[in-house]
Amino acid sequence: MRAAKLKHSEYSIAQAYRFLENAKQTIAQSPIEYGAYTDERYTREAAGIAYLSALKAIDTYLINKGVTQDDLPNSIEEYRKLIGKKIPLNGKLSAALRIVYDNLHLLAYYRGGTGVKMIKEGFENCKKIIDMMAVTK
């Protein structure tokens, strides 16, 4: 049973990394001019994919800690609550998730923000989250 759990975890963490890589490839298709991506379509798409990569990593950790798929969070508020309850030393994770949510989900995806620094900061924090979930036991 434990071997199956680890295999599932590795697969999902690998999938989270794959999502992030896909987001980076997508954003690379948009030219940059004056510190902003010029194609809003690519920035929205890449931001959405990157945001999902961070959530997928957190979901993987939670599943491996006994949370059922039906009990996984459905909102950012629920993610924040479960992180506080289920993930040790969650300050860095909470801060990274806040940046990912604000920069990628709200500003880039929903509002069409195209600032290069804002999006790169969001991507960097997605990587931090995935890395934390990959090594957290």
CA distances from 36 to 4, 29, 55, 89 (A): 44, 13, 26, 35
Band of residue 7 on the pLDDT scale cut at 50, 70, 90: very low
pLDDT, tens digit, 9 for 90 and up, residues 29-83: 999 999 999 999 999 999 999 999 999 999 999 998 888 889 999 999 999 998 8
C-beta neighbour count of 1 within 10 angstroms: 5
The count of domains in the chain is: 1
Q: Work out the mean pLDDT of the chain and round it to a whole number.
A: 90
| Global confidence as pTM | 0.88
Position 43 scores a pLDDT of: 97
Distance, in Å, from the CA atom of 28 to the CA atom of 26, rounded to the nearest integer, reads 5
Total Cβ atoms within 10 A of residue 128: 19
Q: Which stretch of DSSP H or E encloses residue 29?
A: none
Question: How would you class 80 by CB atoms within 10 Å of its CB: exposed for 0-12, middle for 13-18, buried for 19 or more?
Answer: middle
Q: pLDDT tier at 6 (50, 70, 90 boundaries)?
A: very low
**Structural domain boundaries, residue 11:** 2-135
Residue 109: CATH number of its domain: 1.20.120.330
- HSE-up (13 A, CA, CB side) for residue 29: 12
What confidence tier does 90 reach under pLDDT thresholds 50, 70, 90?
confident
pLDDT at res. 137: 56
Q: For 28, list phi and psi in degrees, rounded to 5.
A: -65, -15
**Radius of gyration (C-alpha) of the chain in whole angstroms:** 15
Angle between helix axes 40-64 and 91-99 (nearest 10 degrees) is: 160
Nearest to 59 by CA among 49, 50, 69: 69
